[in-house]
A and B are shown apart, each in its own frame.
Chain A
């Protein structure tokens, strides 16, 4: 179980004026700027649950994941994962946890993946039979048998992500943090990673926190989502319920010779607003539909919403 209470993280970074003068000034006196990456957030996740953490760049998703994985210390507040404080980095906790970051490699680049796996087997003290079983299962499911003896840096982006997934799951973690696992992958690789994670979640039931900018990842994998905006949770609930929250709205998708745009309007104002649009634009096409999940999340990320 993951339990987060009033968790806060403030980062202080140096700031520098642009240009040569700014650089010279920075040599003598450096200004700093503080930013609240997380503003007293609360969260509970049960064993077997998978949640999608959604937010714009810099909203605080990765900071939360890094704190829960034990990489970063919080400024204040409490968090326990499987009963451990992550930043105390107990080996017992680390043996049950995995972090996969789409943008950072954790296996050793200069070596074939199999060499890294052998080392991880020893680090995690995985029994021989379990290691062989997991290696076979993961290589089969991810269809990457042929690439395991090739230097990791020579693999394609999709293959590298598969290798990262294998490295992260060899020890059957009870908690998995997936930070943008499909970033930069082509559509078929994204689909393969999604399919794999879906099946893995069903079979092994770990706690999983997934952050992603791709709504397909969230829709496929996460029955529950948390939307984070500027360090605060603005929605924490079922993905299926989110559409109902804006059930009284319709979206007009309009195409004119110059531009395409969307307008959200209350159902009761639909005819009036449609007439207005026809009057003030040269409309080539107009569609009236329910807001998509993407529309709703975008709207919440922009305008906010009270936590349910």
Chain B
């Protein structure tokens, strides 16, 4: 299993291979997303003449949307198409030829991306707090716990992404399905607006789906807004969903690999 270390190291080298892309992704993208969210929520608060909305003040909302873009990158790992693109282009062959488990390899590369952005979250969140109010022990503990929860969520999300991506063993092009799934997971997970802003009936349904545990739950953990009991419950649901999705992905792979014909561009 020594190759795990080398796969992770190689994925990191791939992230660092293109300098300009690295800095744009690392700083530029996050900064733009935070500024847009801040401007938007500031106008909403001002238009309503409110200092608090659904338990969120404007500084809390800013913090929420500082964590969401980086957390989403942790969660969604590599870009859309991390398996289907390789099936479409024919480079997928290498995972069948090399003496390694395709599942382990892909999960590992996925989580390497997540871990990389986890470091980014720790750095940027700490820097923000340092400027705003200073770093406390409790804040740092919440941050590290939240990053840990994000990693579990990333694993569960990776399994869900695999279920969808492996459909390309039957259908050549499933780009729109993957984009839709990504958009849906972001929205239903509280990536666009916090879940507290959703109607009651929708919040009740979402409790039985994995999405809020992907984004909203880890973000609130970083912010220190979850109780110990909610934390255990959230982790339990994440692990449960991860297991179910892993089982589904395995079944699809067992069936789909017989359909694979190794053609590509």
Q: Tell whether, in the assembled complex, residue A106 and residue B97 are in contact, meaning their CB atoms are under 8 Å apart.
A: yes
- A residues in contact with B17, CB < 8 Å: 110-111, 151
- A residues in contact with B98, CB < 8 Å: 94, 120, 123-124
Cα–Cα distance between A67 and B142 once the two chains are bound (Å): 52
Q: Tell whether, in the assembled complex, residue B91 and residue A104 are in contact, meaning their CB atoms are under 8 Å apart.
A: yes
Cα–Cα distance between A16 and B216 once the two chains are bound (Å): 45
Cα–Cα distance between A122 and B91 once the two chains are bound (Å): 20
Q: Tell whether, in the assembled complex, residue A123 and residue B261 are in contact, meaning their CB atoms are under 8 Å apart.
A: no
Cα–Cα distance between A89 and B102 once the two chains are bound (Å): 11
Q: Which residue of B lies closest to A66 (CB)?
A: B262
Q: Does B264 reach chain A (CB closer than 8 Å)?
A: yes
Q: Tell whether, in the assembled complex, residue B261 and residue A11 are in contact, meaning their CB atoms are under 8 Å apart.
A: yes
Q: Tell whether, in the assembled complex, residue A106 and residue B10 are in contact, meaning their CB atoms are under 8 Å apart.
A: no
Q: Mark B246-265, 1 if CB is under 8 A from A, else 0.
A: 00000000000110111010
Q: Mark A62-84, 1 if CB is under 8 A from B, else 0.
A: 00001001111100000000000
CB-CB contacts below 8 Å: B37-89 with A: none
Q: Tell whether, in the assembled complex, residue A115 and residue B96 are in contact, meaning their CB atoms are under 8 Å apart.
A: no
- A residues in contact with B97, CB < 8 Å: 69-71, 94, 97-99, 106
A123 contacts which of B3, B90, B258, B264 (Cβ < 8 Å)?
B3
Least distance between A115 CB and chain B CB atoms (Å) = 6
Q: Which residue of A lies closest to B94 (CB)?
A: A106
- B residues in contact with A94, CB < 8 Å: 97-99
Cα–Cα distance between A108 and B17 once the two chains are bound (Å): 12
Known pairs A115-B10, A115-B13, A151-B17; A70 contacts B96 (CB<8 A): yes
- B residues in contact with A122, CB < 8 Å: 2-3, 5-6
Q: Which of B2, B7, B93, B99 has the most CB of A within 10 A?
A: B99
Q: Does A91 reach chain B (CB closer than 8 Å)?
A: yes
For the residues of A in contact with B, the DSSP-based class is mixed
Q: Does A213 reach chain B (CB closer than 8 Å)?
A: no
Q: Tell whether, in the assembled complex, residue B262 and residue A123 are in contact, meaning their CB atoms are under 8 Å apart.
A: no
Known pairs A115-B10, A119-B7; A72 contacts B99 (CB<8 A): no
Least distance between A165 CB and chain B CB atoms (Å) = 15
Q: Tell whether, in the assembled complex, residue B10 and residue A111 are in contact, meaning their CB atoms are under 8 Å apart.
A: yes
Number of interface residues of B (CB under 8 A): 25
- B residues in contact with A92, CB < 8 Å: 99
Q: Tell whether, in the assembled complex, residue B90 and residue A104 are in contact, meaning their CB atoms are under 8 Å apart.
A: yes
Q: Does B100 reach chain A (CB closer than 8 Å)?
A: yes
Q: Which residue of A lies closest to B100 (CB)?
A: A123
- B residues in contact with A144, CB < 8 Å: none
CB-CB contacts below 8 Å: B1-47 with A: 2-3, 5-7, 10, 13-14, 17-18
Cα–Cα distance between A268 and B90 once the two chains are bound (Å): 52
Q: Which residue of B lies closest to A62 (CB)?
A: B262
- B residues in contact with A105, CB < 8 Å: 91
Q: Tell whether, in the assembled complex, residue A111 and residue B262 are in contact, meaning their CB atoms are under 8 Å apart.
A: no
Cα–Cα distance between A120 and B100 once the two chains are bound (Å): 10
Cα–Cα distance between A89 and B13 once the two chains are bound (Å): 29
Q: Tell whether, in the assembled complex, residue B260 and residue A71 are in contact, meaning their CB atoms are under 8 Å apart.
A: yes
Q: Tell whether, in the assembled complex, residue A101 and residue B93 are in contact, meaning their CB atoms are under 8 Å apart.
A: yes
Cα–Cα distance between A70 and B90 once the two chains are bound (Å): 14
- B residues in contact with A123, CB < 8 Å: 3, 6, 98-100
Q: Tell whether, in the assembled complex, residue A119 and residue B257 are in contact, meaning their CB atoms are under 8 Å apart.
A: no
Q: Tell whether, in the assembled complex, residue B99 and residue A108 are in contact, meaning their CB atoms are under 8 Å apart.
A: no
Q: Which residue of B lies closest to A107 (CB)?
A: B94
Q: Which of B5, B13, B18, B97 has the most CB of A within 10 A?
A: B97
Q: Does A6 reach chain B (CB closer than 8 Å)?
A: no
Q: Mark A111-133, 1 if CB is under 8 A from B, else 0.
A: 10001101110111100000000
Q: Tell whether, in the assembled complex, residue A119 and residue B262 are in contact, meaning their CB atoms are under 8 Å apart.
A: no
Q: Tell whether, in the assembled complex, residue B91 and residue A91 are in contact, meaning their CB atoms are under 8 Å apart.
A: no
Q: Which residue of B lies closest to A37 (CB)?
A: B261
Cα–Cα distance between A97 and B98 once the two chains are bound (Å): 9
Q: Tell whether, in the assembled complex, residue B99 and residue A119 are in contact, meaning their CB atoms are under 8 Å apart.
A: no
Cα–Cα distance between A101 and B92 once the two chains are bound (Å): 13
Least distance between B171 CB and chain A CB atoms (Å) = 10
Q: Which residue of A lies closest to B102 (CB)?
A: A89
Cα–Cα distance between A91 and B14 once the two chains are bound (Å): 26
Q: Does A95 reach chain B (CB closer than 8 Å)?
A: yes
Cα–Cα distance between A151 and B6 once the two chains are bound (Å): 18
Q: Tell whether, in the assembled complex, residue A72 and residue B14 are in contact, meaning their CB atoms are under 8 Å apart.
A: no
Q: Which residue of B lies closest to A168 (CB)?
A: B97
Cα–Cα distance between A151 and B99 once the two chains are bound (Å): 24
Q: Which residue of B lies closest to A122 (CB)?
A: B3
Q: Which residue of A lies closest to B96 (CB)?
A: A71
Contact surface of A with B, Cβ cutoff 8 Å: 11, 66, 69-73, 89, 91-92, 94-95, 97-99, 101, 104-106, 108, 110-111, 115-116, 118-120, 122-125, 151
Contact surface of B with A, Cβ cutoff 8 Å: 2-3, 5-7, 10, 13-14, 17-18, 90-91, 93-94, 96-100, 257-258, 260-262, 264
A-B contact pairs, 13 of them (CB 8 A): A66-B262, A69-B96, A71-B262, A72-B261, A73-B257, A99-B97, A104-B90, A108-B14, A110-B14, A110-B18, A111-B10, A118-B10, A123-B6
New A-B pairs, 13, CB < 8 Å, besides A69-B96, A105-B91: A71-B96, A72-B262, A89-B96, A95-B99, A97-B97, A98-B97, A101-B93, A104-B90, A108-B14, A111-B10, A111-B17, A115-B10, A123-B3
Of all A-B residue pairs in the complex, the 5 with the closest CB atoms, nearest first, are: A94-B99, A122-B3, A91-B99, A71-B262, A122-B6
